[in-house]
Structure 1
Amino acid sequence: MDDQQLGCAGLLLAMMSLDPSISFDGEHAPVPPAPAPIVPPPKPSAPSVTNPAPVFARRIHRGHPGCHFQEEVMKIALLALALIVLRPCLKKQVWAQSFFAWIDPIELALFKKSETILVGRLLWIGGLFVTFYDAAATFVHSLDLTPLTTRVFD
């Protein structure tokens, strides 16, 4: 090679250490065989009830405190189904009317109590909203936007 630049020799030496087919004398070393292609493992099917995700499966086997999440969701769904669908049907049954006559006043008292708590919390959140709004309005009012507006309108 008739390369007169000094910086190329170092670059060519570095390339020769990485690729044996590069040489100064024009003779090429045999090219090493290509490595066998790596076949990725087959993709598992999407997580489902019968095939849970690996992280969730590890939590179940370790006794992780959050592993009962699906069970709790199922309990809540069944309770909602019972309250929405089955309760009106059961109230019409003669044999269940005495139970509902006994339980309805208790449910009504608990509902009124929860309704009062809910209204109280909504008022509390409303007060927080007004507080944050007042703080934000004070902050925005104190901003000096003159440098920005002079650049925009020039």
Structure 2
Amino acid sequence: MRTFLAVFILCAAFLALVATARAEDPIDTTRAMIEAQIKAFLNDDVDAAYSYAAPGIKAIYPDKNVFFAMVKKSYEPVCHPGNYAFGRSRSIDNGAMIYHEVLISGRDGKDWTAIYQIARQPDGSYKINGVHIVPNTESKGI
């Protein structure tokens, strides 16, 4: 019985460790952040959408409403996707920079590829540093 209990405790501790390490995976973390920003755009939540922008983006668009209007105009498929799925991801310099490929079907029926560049901030958090969008659905890699 003691052996069973010891094995059970070790297994539980290992699973907790794996779950914690997985939760802190920068690819998973930044993917969830992109999804949260897309949901904020879909819900017209200006504050939430703007909160994911990196300081460099906020320096260019210090007014959150101007930022939101720019995204609606220039990145409409990202702002209001019909459907989207994550493609490839790449972590550079031990997670200092993360790139995500997001394949988007626009509401207008056109398909797009958005490449998100996400930068780790000095406090360890991640912010969206830019998005490059091209009309295309084939993964070309990052």
**TM value normalised by structure 1:** 0.23
Larger fraction in strand: 2
Larger fraction in helix: 1
